[in-house]
Structure 1
Amino acid sequence: MSNLLKVSAKVALVQVASGASKPKNLANARNKVLEAASNGAQIIVLPECFNSPYGCDYFPEYAETLLPSPPTKEQSPSFHALSAMAIESKAYLIGGSIPELDTKTKKYYNTSLTFSPKGRLLATHRKVHLFDIDIPGKITFRESDVLSPGNQITIIDMPPYGKVAVAICYDIRFPELAMIAARRGCFALFYPGAFNTTTGPLHWKLQGQARAVDNQVYVALCSPARDMSATYHAWGHSLVCDPMAEVLVEAEEKETIVYAELTGEKIEETRKAIPLYGQRRFDVYPDVSAGRASYDDEVDKILV
């Protein structure tokens, strides 16, 4: 039996397109989540901004209030829809992400909600790294024009399986977040994300494989389906990488559900064959998973 993933888990990535109607988006997500559950999925993942179009112009219009928790149905129809989906599916549900408005601070966030099979909110992750890029002649996008960043790493306990981490899209480009989660005992890293048709073919699969090979854990990326009539063209290609960075399953660009079986044996086998966890040199470089004070102490020791 693995210390990280105690029993095998079947994961489903639900790749859906989101239109202008929030009720239709929620209904479509529900249908696909229940389909995934009927096929035996125990952990089900939705994509980034599954309840709304993706884009800075849309965040304020579609934003929902989540605090204080639980919100009313009027404040957050998506919160209650996700909770109900988790109960109906009897699965852990990583609810992609939704635009959030904090009414106290008047700030907007890109926020992921994870629910237990009993419909209980387990974790809230606000996107930590905002998607601000400028590739000349290709794409310019600035989430920070509207959104504020979150400030925490989100690790979730999912009995009887173990711990997982959830982050959103651009968060995957920052390996420190993944390293910390993996070293704190996560068997998988889940990234609801909406890479586009410029960055997707360049880095989507590469980033998933990189986080997997660096940390010897499973990595799952769940994208919206591509809609060429939308203002933002998602790459699609939701995928799961195993701890050896092999791509176990990959979608195309249309609406679909892809599945993968995660086993603790694969993690153990990988770490035994390539024993990175016993070979790290924290006398040469600091452990980013240590607390801030410990990290500073380690840096000082190395620099002396």
Structure 2
Amino acid sequence: MSSAAKAMSKFRLAVVQMRVTSVKAENLSRARKLVKEAAGKGSQLVLLPECFNSPYGTSFFSQYSERIPGESSEMLSETARENQVYLVGGSIPEAGEGGRLYNSCLVFGPDGELLLKHRKIHLFDIDIPGKIRFQESETLSPGSGLSMFQTPFCKVGVGICYDMRFAELAQLYSRRGCELLVYPGAFNMTTGPAHWELLQRARALDNQLYVATASPARDETSSYVAWGHSSVVSPWGEVISKAGPEEAVIYADVDLQYLADIRQQIPVTAQRRDDLYEVTSTQ
């Protein structure tokens, strides 16, 4: 492999686990500062958490929602351009067409151009008696599309939080050439310790790709307490970088040659029995 090819086979990923307050301007300012910090340490792709510009909760979505373009998307575009990074803008409450609200992730390129908008496909509607009840569908509408973007390094698939529980989505992204999946998320104190890391490792291992997740930092005083523990998992299913509960920026050097080696050593993609089963998309 040439030195140029070797250079392109690796890139630095940063995951920003930031403290989110009820003051939107504060959140935007903090996000901009932390992305700059990540870029200063050589990161070429930076991931922000779910609902990075507002508290997470059905009572907040309408109050903090924005049209796109809007204040938050403009900040993301400028920050990506200023720092010359691919910026996965976590998610924001989006005021969509017909009065509908969406939980939406915006991705910007190093030139500040919008590459995609992913609206959360699977809404977080759960009810665990005595633990937690949360119904995103009370205020949000679901998205209806897969979302991928191309970088000079690899193709990236995007999901938001609860989307990670659906293995079929990750399989479709893998089949379409993605080598990294990013999930801005905000698992809670019930599902976080039980499933957060397990789901990331499963998605990475099953599809032999990298998985990165970004959670808000934990705030015990908020109405919804996030688990934190933003992570990056390798195609071997190994957690290679992980935050604790507090605000932090974590880093991982994504090695696409390592990914290719694993796919060659354990060639599950070539060994699938497409004559017996398949996962398909309507898109």
TM surpasses 0.5: yes
TM-score, structure 1 as length reference: 0.90
**Counterparts of 2:190 and 2:227 in 1: how far apart (Å)?**
8
The aligned residue for residue 85 of structure 1 is 79
Matching residue within 182, 186, 198 for 1:194: 186
Tell me which amino acid in the other structure corresponds to 1:78. S
Structure 2 portions without partners, runs of 5+: none
Matching residue within 19, 22, 35 for 2:24: 22
Tell me which amino acid in the other structure corresponds to 1:92. Y
**Counterparts of 2:148 and 2:81 in 1: how far apart (Å)?**
21
Deviation at 1:139, TM superposition (A): 0.3
User: Which structure 2 residues correspond to residues 256-275 of structure 1 after superposition, within 5 A?
Assistant: 256-275=248-267
The aligned residue for residue 32 of structure 1 is 34
Deviation at 1:13, TM superposition (A): 0.3
Give yes or no for the alignment of 1:121 onto 2:114: yes
Give yes or no for the alignment of 1:143 onto 2:136: yes
**Counterparts of 2:167 and 2:103 in 1: how far apart (Å)?**
20
The aligned residue for residue 203 of structure 2 is 211
TM-score, structure 2 as length reference: 0.96
The aligned residue for residue 160 of structure 2 is 168
Deviation at 1:6, TM superposition (A): 4.7
Q: Alignment partner of 2:98: what SS?
A: coil
Tell me which amino acid in the other structure corresponds to 2:258. K
Give yes or no for the alignment of 1:61 onto 2:63: yes
**Counterparts of 1:15 and 1:150 in 2: how far apart (Å)?**
25
**Counterparts of 2:211 and 2:60 in 1: how far apart (Å)?**
29
The aligned residue for residue 220 of structure 1 is 212
Tell me which amino acid in the other structure corresponds to 2:36. L
Structure 1 portions without partners, runs of 5+: 294-304
Give yes or no for the alignment of 1:50 onto 2:42: no
Give yes or no for the alignment of 1:244 onto 2:213: no
User: Which one has a bigger Cα radius of gyration?
Assistant: 1
Q: Alignment partner of 2:59: what SS?
A: coil
Deviation at 1:42, TM superposition (A): 0.4
The 3 A distance-change label for structure 1 pair 118 and 135 is: same
Is the Cα contact below 8 Å between 1:6 and 1:162 reproduced in 2?
no
**Counterparts of 2:19 and 2:185 in 1: how far apart (Å)?**
13
Q: Which of structure 1's runs of 4+ aligned residues deviate more than 3 A?
A: 290-293
User: RMSD value over aligned CA atoms?
Assistant: 1.5
Tell me which amino acid in the other structure corresponds to 1:130. L
**Aligned residues with identical type, % of pairs:** 50
| Aligned residues between the structures | 280
The aligned residue for residue 300 of structure 1 is none
Q: Deviations over 1:152-211 (max 9, x none)?
A: 1101011x1121011100000001100000110011000000000110000000000000
